[in-house]
Structure 1
Amino acid sequence: MAYEHIKFTTDEGIATVTLNRPDKLNAWTRIMEREVRDAMEAAEKDDSVRVIILTGEGRGFCAGADMNLLSGIEDGSEKREAGAVYGTKAYNVAVRSDFQTQYSYFPSISKPIIGAINGPAAGLGMVISLYCDMRFASREAVFMTAFAKRGLIAEHGISWMLPRLIGHSAALDLLLSSRKVTAEEALRLGLVNQVYDAEDLMPAVKVYATDLAQNVSPRSMAVMKRQVYDAQFLSLSEAVAIGNEEMIKSFASEDFKEGVAHFLEKRPAKFTGR
């Protein structure tokens, strides 16, 4: 389908979703919200796609909610639209309800989602970046929660995600102060995985994504992603039991047989995801 506020491409096993309002630093709109979800669902259903990259066009990743969207909250129109469109939508009945809300559905996508944070990620833009499975940042990137300086609170699950990434005290620091965090500080905090010069960001992300797409079992990635997110709600013994059960299933999979065969035969893998 044609998109207004994003670009969506697929190439060699990689789907790239690009927020595309560069003149507004890719400020988030309801149109963008619907289109990102549609693109994520399309990538999930496409067997040729192994990895998803989410990034922004131009100088910014996402500067947060568009001010017109925020203004709509005051008269109730924005709340009514959000509730009507997203309040009861279930993305995937096979995953936890925690990962089926308006913005928390990224973990329900079985394929890894890599955030290529090319510029400012503020407010809702920062929330979206946290739901990516990993984040690679440009040195031009800055992170800011922004909520406290708008009279708002820790929204859309950031109070759950942020402490798990950087710890309780550091999360409160970023939430309460709404201060800007550079890419280098974000790396020290554990908010991002790697930092690159601006011109090297997308090439580096694509090298990483290509390795996953070509050399790693899609089945293994899907199971591991689900294990890691679900384990945050489990005891150690429960996580061990699930791991043992999944290992038995892995032994019976085509990808396990191929994993052994390509290693012994010293050739590139030909994983099917089955």
Structure 2
Amino acid sequence: MTDATFTEIEYAAADGIATITLDRPDRLNAFTPTMARELIAAFDRSDADDDVRVVIVTGRGRGFCAGADLGNGGATFDATDERRVADRAGVGSIGGVTRDGGGTVSLRIAASLKPVIGAVNGPAVGVGATMTLPMDMRFAAASARFGFVFARRGLVPEAASSWFLPRIVGISQAMEWAATGRVFDAAEALAGRLVSRVVPDDELLDTARGVAREIADNTSSISVAASRQMLWAMLGAESPWEAHRLDSRAIHHLGQGADVAEGVTAFLDKRAPAFPNRVSADYPSGIVPAWPSRPEGMD
């Protein structure tokens, strides 16, 4: 079912998979404050819908996202510009300044309780690249291009990418891409571990849907949601003992639950499982803390 309330994205959910399509093809899906708000709302919707097990994000037309819409020229990123102030009303602040719009989206994606697959179907530049970093898997079409171009615009990487990018690809690769600001192809993205698969253009969505289908058809929604939060949270842990503590608590709690009983019984019976638990009602929020935790200094 497609949701018609959005204007710059399309949201469609069917058979356990929500597909979010960036939908400004005439502008190579350039990022705007409206798109940011709609993406956040779309992830709110997918988290609230127990029938959605996986989210796929892709772009309409020949590009994924060409970066920020630069229609305001040299004042595009000027925090004192009247148009920018109006566009960003209600975004909130952190550390005494208005929040970065790309960061509001990337942090919402990071907090998703459903796994997120990025299906990069063409140019993904600037925020078009950084918004994919908190996605759990990134698949690229052979024609995809990536660029962390901020140094060529006089800016710094945004969307919390100074945290995400080096954790995904390593500090040396992250710094090479950030310092040069150059656009590179899908083969280099794969070699640098920015993406995990490169496929022919016409196979991209089928590949993403195939992985999504495997998750939706075979796994416990509670297990996947908790695992996602735990794996990301432990990227910042100082010691594996922190993971051991969290693992032990989660196993102690979930081991008593209906999904585990069904999963084990189904395996022994050699049949497909029918997991009864639902994220909205059964997610172990008191056991697995929300990630990323919201800091002080925000309104």
Q: TM-score, normalised by structure 2?
A: 0.84
Instruction: Give 2:26's aligned amino acid.
Output: D
CA displacement at 1:83 relative to structure 2: 5.7
Match of 2:209? 206
Structure 1 residue runs of 5 or longer lacking an equivalent are: 90-99
Give the residue type in structure 2 aligned to 1:44.
Answer: D
Map Cα deviations across residues 18-48 of structure 1 (whole Å, 9 max, x no partner).
Answer: 0001111100011111111111111110010
1:237-252 alignment runs, 5 A limit? 237-252=241-256
Structure 1 residues 16-95: aligned runs within 5 Å: 16-68=19-71, 71-74=75-78, 75-77=80-82, 80-81=85-86, 84-87=89-92
d(CA) in 2 for partners of 1:66, 1:83: 14
Structure 1 residues 160 and 78, CA gap change in structure 2 (3 angstroms): farther
Residue 102 of structure 1: how far off its partner (Å): 4.9
Contact 1:86 1:102 in 2 (8 A): no
Question: Alpha carbons of 1:56 and 1:176: their partners in 2 closer, same or farther (altered >3 Å)?
Answer: same
Letter in 1 for 2:268: L
| Residue 253 (structure 1) aligns with | 257
Q: Does 1:263 align with 2:267?
A: yes
- In the alignment, structure 1 residue 166 sits paired with structure 2 residue 169: yes
Conservation of the 8 A alpha-carbon contact between 1:28 and 1:66? yes
Post-superposition Cα deviations, 1:195-244, rounded to whole Å, max 9, x if no partner, equal 10000010111011011011011111111111111112222111111111
Question: What is the root-mean-square deviation in Å for CA atoms of aligned residues?
Answer: 1.8
The structure that is helix-richer by fraction is 1
Over 3 Å counting, the alpha-carbon distance change for 1:239 and 1:83 in structure 2 is farther
- Per the alignment, residue 120 of structure 1 pairs with 123
TM-score for the superposition, normalised by structure 1: 0.91
Residue range with higher mean Cα deviation, 152-161 or 58-67: 152-161
Alpha-carbon distance between aligned partners in 1 of 2:39 and 2:171, rounded to the nearest angstrom: 30
Quote the Cα distance in structure 1 between the aligned partners of 2:19 and 2:105: 21
Could you say if the C-alpha distance between residues 272 and 86 of structure 1 is closer, same or farther in structure 2, counting changes exceeding 3 Å? farther
Q: 1:250 to 1:81 in 2, by over 3 A?
A: farther
How much does 1:84 deviate?
3.7
Aligned length: 264
Deviation >4 Å, runs of 4+: none
Contact 1:87/1:102 (<8 A) preserved = no
Secondary structure class of the residue paired with 2:156? coil
The answer as to 2:117 corresponding to 1:109 is no
Quick one: which of 227, 230, 235 aligns to 1:232?
Answer: 235
Alpha-carbon distance in 1 for matches of 2:83, 2:92: 12
Q: Distance in 1 between matches of 2:12 and 2:153?
A: 35
Q: 1:78 to 1:72 in 2, by over 3 A?
A: farther
Q: Distance in 2 between matches of 1:227 and 1:82?
A: 35
Which shifted more, 263-272 or 35-44? Answer: 263-272
Contact 1:218-1:272 at 8 Å conserved across structures: no
Matches of 2:254 and 2:170, distance apart in 1: 33
